[in-house]
Amino acid sequence: MKKLRQSIEQLKSPEQLSAAAYMDQIWSYICYSPKMPLRHNQEQLLQLASKSQHAVKDEFFTGELLSFPVYTWGSGDKIILLTHGWGSKAADFAFYIEKLLNNGDFKIIAFDAPGNGEAAGELSNLILYIEAVKAIITAYGAPYIAIGHSLGAMANIAALSNLKLSPARIISLTPLVDLKANFAASMDFVNIPHTVQQHFFEGFEKRFNMKTTYFHLNSLYHFPEDQHHLVLYDQEDKIAPFPYLQSFFENHPLTDAIDFNGVGHERILKSEEAVQVILEKIQTIQD
């Protein structure tokens, strides 16, 4: 968090930076994922897991291979893949993992995406998340259920679409929808002028060699019409505003969507009601 606070302070005083340093600081602000320490119960849960290391190449910042830890629990033949959100880590799914472990049919897989948690990397981005999900699927097999939170929901959808896989159910918890809009809101927060923001987005498209429109849930989602997709959201969510998500629902009207009004973008990971709904939905598949 210290690094993020420093970036915010510097961006609010741009007169102290050169033009190049100012733009570099914007990249750092947008792509740095804060790392929070593990809580005691999370440490205990990770100690119960089997741990392995995998790696993906950071094509856009360092050009290096970035290693990331993958944790597995259970010995069932049905894989449940958990993909965390921005500034998060595998252990933040602790409440869900503990509940899912009660079903012996499952093997639960979670990981720290590059630039997050215990993974290597200073900066992160959606592409690194997607490549990490693809690497895990290559190593362990296709997931029976794919659960993603926030940016992790986008990563799951993009990776599965890219690999042309259709899990028994995709579950998205307070998913991000429009990354460009989220980036713009973050830059508005530190009073970055819109002309500078436009320059940043031009540089973004040049660096990633793709339009910012790609980083939208509607652009990433390519599944058969009968794909089971459950979305748990909060209509009052400030991080993933409902108007963005509403556009996705309009394009995909068969989505099973449930509003957990007031639960909060992050607190949904600790919601007894939310996890109970998920367990019930999973049970209907097994029945």
List the one residue out of 161, 280, 273, 264 whose CA is nearest residue 220: 161
Check residue 285 and give its pLDDT: 81
Q: Please tell me whether residues 173 and 194 are part of one structural domain.
A: no
SS3 106: strand
Question: Both 205 and 97 in a single domain?
Answer: no
98 burial (CB, 10 Å; 0-12 / 13-18 / 19+) is: middle
Domain assignment present for residue 44? The answer is: no
Looking at residue 229, what is its pLDDT? 97
Residue 242: pLDDT band by 50, 70, 90 thresholds?
A: very high
Predicted confidence (pLDDT) per residue in 37-96, tens digit: 999 999 999 999 999 999 999 999 999 999 999 999 999 999 999 999 999 999 999 999
Q: Are residues 24 and 72 in the same domain?
A: no
Residue 90 forms part of a structural domain: yes
Residue at 37 is within a domain? no
Please write the tens of the pLDDT for every residue from 179-201: 999 999 999 999 999 999 999 99
| pLDDT score at 287 | 59
The CATH number assigned to the domain holding 168 equals: 3.40.50.1820
CB neighbour list of residue 106: distance below 8 Å, 6 or more residues apart: 74, 76, 78, 79, 80, 100, 144
Same domain, residue pair 120 and 236: yes
What global pTM score does this model have?
0.96
Q: Is residue 39 part of a domain?
A: no
Residues 144 and 240 in one domain: yes
Q: Is residue 5 predicted with pLDDT exceeding 90? A: no
Which residue type sits at 240? Answer: A
Q: Residue 2: its pLDDT value, please? A: 76
In a domain? residue 41: no
157: nearest Cα among 211, 231, 63: 231
**pLDDT band with cut points at 50, 70 and 90 for residue 9:** confident
Domain membership of residue 226 (yes or no) is: yes
| 200 and 168 in a common domain | no
73 shares its domain with 166: yes
Q: Are 231 and 255 in contact (CB under 8 A)?
A: yes
- Are residues 221 and 170 part of one domain? yes
Residues near 38 by Cβ (< 8 Å), separated by ≥ 6? 46, 89, 91
How confident is the prediction for the chain on average, in pLDDT?
95
User: In the chain, how many domains are there?
Assistant: 2
Residues 23 and 69 in one domain: no
Q: Could you tell me if residue 43 is inside a domain?
A: no
Domain for residue 84, yes or no? yes
- Please tell me the predicted confidence (pLDDT) of residue 272: 95
Say whether both 186 and 151 belong to one domain: no
Considering only residues 10 and 47, tell me which one the structure prediction assigns the higher pLDDT.
47
Q: Name the residue range of residue 122's domain.
A: 49-178+217-286
Could you report the per-residue pLDDT of 111-142, keeping only the tens digit for each? 999 999 999 999 999 999 999 999 999 999 99
Co-location of 280 and 264 in the same domain? yes
- Let me know whether 245 and 109 are in one domain: yes
Bigger pLDDT: 56 or 19?
A: 56
pLDDT of residue 7: 84
Reading the block at residue 159, the tokens are 């990776």
